[in-house]
Amino acid sequence: APNCLVTRIASEYGADDALLIAADGRVLDGPNFAVGFIIDGCMRLVHAGSNRMLPSCTQMLAMHAAQRVGLPFREGNVLIDEARSASAAFAMSATRHIMPIAAIDEHVMQSDMSAF
């Protein structure tokens, strides 16, 4: 399966996992997780429907939690250049829950996840 292949290729290059990126630079998601970013103080989430992906139940819960505590968030497209400049990034899935992403390419994220 392509998802397993990209994870294996990422591992061969020394990464823990992969991000799926569309040809036009949009971040899609990980091979088996949704992704989110903190960009300019706003939680940015990839909109599954506009990217022809299955919606993430964990992402939906994250949006509800953000709304309850007043954390600004936006669901839409996130470009890889925006993701590389994020102050924090995280993976979301039913099995991982919400886990910090340490780095995207050479950009190391803040280790303090208090941004959200």
pLDDT at 28 over 80: yes
For 76-104, what is the mean pLDDT?
A: 91
- Is residue 76 within 8 A of residue 44, CB to CB? The reply is yes
Q: Which of 105, 69, 85, 97 is nearest to 37 (CA)?
A: 85
| Confidence band of 98 (pLDDT split at 50, 70, 90) | confident
Instruction: Measure the CA–CA gap between 96 and 111, rounded to whole angstroms.
Output: 18
Task: Kindly report the pTM of this predicted structure.
Answer: 0.85
Q: Which amino acid is at 35?
A: V
pLDDT of residue 50: 72
Per-residue b/e over 33-56, b at no fewer than 16 CB within 10 Å? Answer: bbbbbbbeeebbbbebeebeeeeb
The H or E element that residue 5 is part of is: helix 2-12
List residues bridging with 27 in a β-sheet.
21
As a whole number, mean pLDDT of residues 23-51 equals 89
3-state secondary structure of 28: strand
The percentage of the chain sitting over the pLDDT mark of 70, rounded to a whole number, equals 93
| Residue 72: pLDDT over 90 | yes
Sign of the Cα pseudo-torsion (60, 64, 67, 93, in order): negative
Give the model confidence (pLDDT) of 3-17 as tens digits.
788 888 888 988 888
Average pLDDT over residues 55-65: 83
Place of tokens 């709304």: 67
**Confidence label for 79 from pLDDT (cuts 50, 70 and 90):** very high
